[in-house]
């Protein structure tokens, strides 16, 4: 079966001509970005927070800008991304180096 996507409303038209309505374009991507920002922000609290924190912030901002249905998850990702950078700043100021470890 051949599927044709309509960019304005993301409707799929099968070869038979049947139209199935869907969510607006980009909403599915925005939901994925919201989940990714949450996961990366959470992971960034443990490792690579210098990289994962800003990535989580950008993904959360894009998800919110595109109108995600997972707004709470995007806001959590945004908060965790900021927390990643705060944790990094606190640990760097205590150790006076750019890298840190839990080994002491």
Tell me whether residue 74 is in a domain: yes
Closest CA to 38 of 79, 64, 77: 77
Reported confidence tier of residue 48, pLDDT bands at 50, 70, 90: confident
The pLDDT of residue 72 is 92
Tell me whether residue 103 is in a domain: no
The pLDDT of residue 47 is 86
- The predicted-structure confidence for 20-38, as pLDDT tens digits, reads as follows 455 455 567 888 899 999 9
φ and ψ at residue 95, rounded to 5 degrees: -100, -15
To 5 degrees, how large is the angle CA 21–CA 26–CA 30? 120
Higher pLDDT, 22 or 62: 62
Give the distance from CA 17 to its chain's centroid. 35
Top-ranked range on mean pLDDT: pick from 10-19, 21-30, 40-49: 40-49
Closest CA to 66 of 29, 22, 23: 29
Tell me whether residue 2 is in a domain: no
Segments forming the whole domain that contains residue 73:
26-95
């Amino acid at each position: 079966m051949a599927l044709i996507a309509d960019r304005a409303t993301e409707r799929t038209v099968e070869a038979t001509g049947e139209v199935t309505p869907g969510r607006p374009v980009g909403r599915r991507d925005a939901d994925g970005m919201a989940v990714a920002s949450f996961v990366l922000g959470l992971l960034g609290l443990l490792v690579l927070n210098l990289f994962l924190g800003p990535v989580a912030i950008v993904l959360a901002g894009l998800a919110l800008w595109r109108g995600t249905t997972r707004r709470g998850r995007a806001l959590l990702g945004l908060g965790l991304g900021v927390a990643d950078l705060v944790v990094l700043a606190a640990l760097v100021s205590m150790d006076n180096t750019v890298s840190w470890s839990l080994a002491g």
